Amino acid sequence: MRQPLKRSRWRRNGSRVLGGNFRSIQIGETLRSFAGAAIVRVRASVGHDSYERLVDVNIPPDEHWVSAGLTGASPISDPLKTPEAVVINSASLVEKAAQDPGVSEFCRFYLGRRTQELASTGTDPRKRKKVEDDFTPSLDTILLGIDGTVRRQLRLKTLFDLGSEHEYESSIAVVPSKKT
């Protein structure tokens, strides 16, 4: 009985198991994804009041994959220069930070207050605009820190033949990992 091939020998010998000959392999695309926790400073403000706090945001694995080109397989620089290097989805980060109980309560309060104030303005468009500007909450977020892992997904294109004149191409998705 034939022994299974070790993964490190697949590139050289894998196509032989199928009765073919290995020709080439190349990286077609690299994707990156971040999983872990982010600390975000959230500032909710209206015309005359503001509320600011630090929020821990959990980022689950495989939530957001981003194409990173061929350089995406390279190590990430240390120290980290930009959050985009670890492909954190900014819109998702802001959305999750806004769900913090304190921030959402601040926004709920002033949206309710805006409704009351708009009812008392009548039909004057200048007063309505002023009330909307003064009582509509806006959010400002700043990413302060992250703790987690960056995963990569390599999409490889392999070329081989099965003992005939025709060459065959196959795509393989690989997620490299390191056991600790």
Q: Would you state the structure tokens that stand for residue 99, as one six-digit string?
A: 């769900």
pTM > 0.85: no
Model pLDDT for residues 7-56, shown as the tens digit of each residue: 444 444 444 445 667 777 777 788 888 889 989 999 999 989 999 999 99
Residue 58 and residue 111 in contact, taking contact as beta carbons nearer than 8 Å: no
User: What value does the mean pLDDT take over residues 90-116?
Assistant: 92
Residue 66 pairs in a beta bridge with 32
Higher pLDDT, 180 or 15: 180
Write down the pLDDT at residue 81.
63
For 71, 145, 165, the CA distances from 75, given in Å and listed in that order, are: 9, 19, 39
Cis peptide before 101 (omega within 30 of 0): no
What is the per-residue burial (b if ≥16 Cβ within 10 Å, else e) of 101-129? eebeebbeebeeebeebeeeeeeeeeeee
- d(CA 126, CA 136) in angstroms, rounded, equals 15
N- to C-terminal Cα distance for the chain?
Answer: 33
Q: How far is CA 40 from the centre of its chain?
A: 15
